[in-house]
Structure 1
């Protein structure tokens, strides 16, 4: 790990302490951004990340009506989207992320029958999928994410023997893997 590049202090030297529980990084046309959302205050913002690892100026901000506990970015073709879900109501939506660190139009929305505490996108052979896992029932499913930021059809599902609180996909050469970790056993 190299030297600290940015420490959350504003230009006046005061610390910016915010309870942002949901954060993710994304890129559009070579520019890097990060999105942050507080499930307590419902505030969200997007900031540009610059060369040298510096956190730049805020490009967009607001206050949601509902907290979104699960969120991730994904790309389909040359367009970038993000998925967000409330784990209490199971409501979800997909919204486009556009140039300049701004939010675009909402492209899809719905309500799951169950809560999916663990969720992430992955791409295989040019197709992008959503993995969702309920840590109470151990149920999991995979559903395709489509052009235009739409939720497609379910392609697989099942029930794990244990809940997996930490999961992520990865690829080595031409093989795809899923890392899963149960934090209670």
Structure 2
């Protein structure tokens, strides 16, 4: 009789282990994570306050479609010194391309900064009734402020009901 209980306990433990492994696997697979960048040409764009007679600079040190490393220096010569780094998608002819993100319900980036700083993450969205292709001032741009440190962290723009993330640059 004791042999039966040992085999039953062993079978029960084996079932628990298999159940835990399958549960973990299915939970992992339920959180889909994909690269947003399609097979288009991808170009990083850097802007500083030189357009406003400032002397701030930004220099892209290295870039790939998934990663950007840049250095910047803010100068107080402009009234409001700034810099910006953005990702642009281009089609095979070098023209601005849009990316349809309606099948996604969230977008998250990982950011690391040295030294630690506060930054803004903005996502330009194209509204067919309002936006003019290529004129970014007419695009809706939900944004979020976030603290960026050397340890890094995940950043997601908050949901904006007034903004349809259909066509994103």
Q: TM-score with structure 2 length normalisation?
A: 0.28
Instruction: Report the structure, 1 or 2, having the larger strand content.
Output: 1
Provide TM-score, normalisation by structure 1.
0.26
Higher helix share: 2
Report 1 or 2 for greater relative contact order, CA contacts < 8 Å, sequence distance ≥ 6: 2
Structure of greater Rg? 2
